């Protein structure tokens, strides 16, 4: 009976051994290997963002996370003083290297956890100093950090990334697929089950190399962007304004050189800025443009053949149209103004007389042709197309307010694009901010240029340019503060009532100046907007000086020679 029992037991063991070694051997061996394998991510380098001249606006730098196996730190002995041992002794050695106080480090090192973080995002040099201390139980993980060398320069355009290294706003979000790349990994056999287990020499190793992201080249000019942001910050501070924006670009191509906001955000520390300041107001914030929009009404009337630049009007300071009384910004006796004079003096009542011969459908078509009520083509996150209501819904008064830039809303890029069209002989080119993507071999793959469409005839655009020059240099022009020494400048001031949801109506103003230079060979267009100033309200007072500063710097940066021709103004009065 004993022999029988022994045989039965032995047969059971034999059967089990046969099952393990003969039937399940490959499966069990694979499972055992899987238990010994560790996977370490190999991080792809996120592509850089550079300006048109190659200046780095965003880059990724190597960092390390210092990790700990607390059970191993317990065995640490200070080599300089054997009487000092354990977590507190290790913390005392680490403190001056990591810049963390001893009690905090002691808490992180003491315990029985097999894995934990001691410090994150330390520079590689710091990790090398930590490793040189030879403290048992300390290890490191590969990490990286996105950094923006220019601080807040172009912060609203660039956006920022999250803790996981992926874009959360701005171009970092829009161009995620180009910038991110693809992480790789390294799988290797280790000698134990803890996170701190050592690799087995000659053991199984499998590596998938990371694919780095591509560099992105912008059309922006870093130095011009900085100058514009400083000028905007100054006017916000001195006027007590809520915010300000500036948009500048090349006339012929629509490439943006400046896309500036104030207040702005430092993408190195986005949490330090108010939520409202972390975006790109130049495309997200819409407003009623006011008098800068009058050029569309006058352009439409000229192109339709309803008026000539020197057509004559008797312009009072108030007029009743559509059952509503409209008035100019200041009281004045009846003036004898030409069409050019109406624009130069920025007369609301004169603009209504010029545009009154057009139907609602005609007006709507012209405003739409200039880009109102539709996306700019930039495709930036949060961009608003503005508001251009269907003409069938216009009230009797809205028909007339639209003529002088109220009752219609745009963003800063849209109003800048209007003047780009006029400066470019009537051809509208969609603006762009990304020049191209640079592949790993250094080849720049250009992004498609913006679509071009003729909006005005070359003759009408030329007439408007002469009229806009009078608004800056003419005797009754409102934009004299925008004049750039040595250059002939065309432009228009704007002082619009500003709708604010907080007060449930119009309370405050949008002060603006939009224009281009030089008149004899337009190269650069520029729009400056100042929102809700507390001290001052007129575009010629607040926005025009900023225009002068930024335009002067842009013309110099672009190497545009000074103007040589003389102005040929139209008669402004009769």
Concatenate the DSSP letters of all residues of 196-246 into one string.
TPPBPTT--EEEE--BPPPEEEES--HHHHHHHHHHHHHHHHHHT-SEEEE
| Percent of the chain predicted with pLDDT > 90 | 72
- Mean pLDDT of the 439-462 span: 90
Say whether pLDDT at 31 is over 70. Answer: no
> Distance (Å, rounded) from C-alpha 555 to C-alpha 391?
40
Highest mean pLDDT pick, 102-106, 207-211, 420-424: 420-424
Say whether pLDDT at 561 is over 70. Answer: yes
Confidence class for position 198, pLDDT limits 50, 70, 90: low
- Mean pLDDT of the 227-235 span: 98
pLDDT of residue 41: 76
Say whether pLDDT at 523 is over 70. Answer: yes
pTM over 0.75: yes
Half-sphere exposure of 549 (CA within 13 A, CB side): 21
**Long-range CB pairs of 72-76, under 8 A, 24+ apart, other chains included:** 72/136, 72/137, 72/196, 73/109, 73/110, 73/135, 73/136, 73/137, 73/138, 74/110, 74/137, 75/136, 75/137, 76/135, 76/136, 76/137
Question: Where in the sequence numbering do the catalytic residues fall?
Answer: 291
- Mean pLDDT of the 30-39 span: 70
Q: Give residue-wise pLDDT tens across range 242-280.
A: 999 999 999 999 999 999 999 999 999 999 999 989 999
Confidence class for position 33, pLDDT limits 50, 70, 90: low
| Sequence-distant (≥ 6) Cβ neighbours of residue 553 within 8 angstroms | 223, 224, 227
| Percent of the chain predicted with pLDDT > 70 | 96
Q: Give residue-wise pLDDT tens across range 86-116.
A: 999 999 999 999 999 999 999 999 998 888 9
pLDDT of residue 193: 58
Say whether pLDDT at 28 is over 60. Answer: yes
- Mean pLDDT of the 406-422 span: 97
Where does residue 476 rank: exposed (0-12), middle (13-18), buried (19+ CB within 10 A)?
Answer: middle
- Mean pLDDT of the 448-471 span: 93
Q: Centre a 10 Å sphere on the Cβ of residue 331 and count the other Cβ atoms it contains.
A: 8
Rounding to the nearest 10 degrees, give the CA dihedral for residues 316, 287, 434, 48: 140
Say whether pLDDT at 335 is over 90. Answer: yes
> Distance (Å, rounded) from C-alpha 31 to C-alpha 75?
33
- What are the start-end ranges of the E strands in 439-546? 444-446, 452-454, 490-500, 505-517, 524-531
> Distance (Å, rounded) from C-alpha 492 to C-alpha 573?
18
Residue of 572 and 205 predicted with greater confidence: 572
Half-sphere exposure of 200 (CA within 13 A, CB side): 15
pLDDT of residue 192: 64
Nearest partner of 293 among 457, 399, 418, 413, judged by Cα:
418
């Amino acid at each position: 009976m004993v022999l029988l029992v022994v045989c039965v037991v032995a047969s059971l063991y034999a059967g089990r051994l046969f099952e393990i070694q003969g039937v399940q051997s490959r499966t069990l061996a694979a499972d055992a290997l899987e238990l010994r394998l560790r996977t370490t991510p190999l991080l792809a380098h996120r592509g850089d963002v550079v300006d048109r001249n190659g200046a780095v606006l965003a880059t990724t730098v190597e960092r390390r996370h210092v990790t700990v196996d607390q059970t191993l730190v317990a065995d640490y002995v200070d080599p300089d003083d054997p009487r000092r041992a354990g977590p507190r002794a290790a913390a005392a050695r680490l403190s001056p290297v990591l810049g963390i106080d001893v009690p905090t480090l002691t808490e992180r090192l003491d315990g029985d956890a097999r894995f934990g973080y001691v410090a994150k995002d330390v520079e590689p040099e710091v990790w090398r100093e930590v490793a040189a201390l030879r403290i048992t139980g300390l290890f490191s993980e590969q990490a990286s950090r996105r950094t923006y060398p220019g601080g807040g320069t172009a912060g609203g355009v660039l956006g920022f990334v999250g803790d996981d290294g992926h874009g959360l706003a701005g171009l970092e979000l829009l161009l995620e697929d180009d910038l991110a790349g693809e992480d790789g990994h390294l799988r290797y056999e280790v000698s134990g089950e803890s996170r701190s287990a050592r690799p087995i020499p000659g053991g199984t190793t499998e590596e998938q190399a990371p694919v780095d992201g591509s560099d992105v080249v912008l059309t922006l000019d870093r130095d011009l962007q900085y100058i514009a942001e400083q000028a905007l910050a100054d006017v916000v501070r001195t006027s007590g304004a809520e915010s300000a924006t500036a948009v500048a670009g090349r006339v012929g191509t629509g490439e943006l050189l400046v896309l500036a906001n104030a207040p702005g955000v430092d993408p190195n520390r986005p949490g330090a800025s108010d939520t409202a300041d972390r975006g790109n107001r130049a495309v997200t914030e819409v407003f009623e443009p006011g008098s800068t929009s009058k050029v569309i009404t006058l352009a439409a009337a000229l192109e339709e053949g309803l008026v000539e630049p020197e057509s004559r009007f008797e312009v009072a300071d108030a007029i009743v149209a559509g059952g509503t009384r409209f008035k100019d910004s200041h009281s004045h006796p009846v003036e004898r103004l030409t069409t050019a004079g109406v624009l130069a003096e920025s007369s609301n009542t004169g603009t209504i007389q010029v545009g009154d011969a057009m139907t609602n459908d005609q007006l709507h078509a012209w405003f739409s042709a200039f880009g109102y009520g539709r996306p700019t083509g930039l495709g930036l996150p949060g961009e608003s197309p503005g508001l251009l209501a269907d003409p069938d819904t216009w009230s009797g008064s809205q028909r007339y307010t639209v003529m002088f830039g109220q009752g219609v809303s745009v963003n800063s890029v849209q109003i800048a694009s209007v003047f780009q069209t006029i400066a470019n002989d009537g051809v509208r080119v969609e603006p762009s901010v990304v020049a191209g993507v640079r592949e790993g071999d250094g080849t720049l793959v250009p992004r498609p240029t913006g679509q071009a469409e003729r909006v005005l005839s070359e003759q009408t655009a030329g007439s408007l340019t002469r009229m806009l020059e009078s608004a800056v240099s003419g005797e009754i022009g409102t934009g004299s503060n925008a004049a750039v020494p040595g250059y002939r400048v065309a432009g228009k001031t704007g002082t619009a009532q500003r709708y604010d949801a907080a007060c449930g109506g119009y309370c405050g103003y949008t002060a603006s100046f939009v224009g281009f230079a030089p008149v004899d060979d337009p190269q650069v267009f520029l729009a400056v907007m100042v929102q809700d100033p507390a001290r001052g309200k007129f575009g010629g007072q607040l926005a025009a000086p900023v225009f002068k500063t930024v335009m002067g710097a842009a013309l110099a940066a672009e190497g545009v020679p000074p103007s040589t021709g003389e102005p040929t103004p139209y008669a402004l009065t009769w």
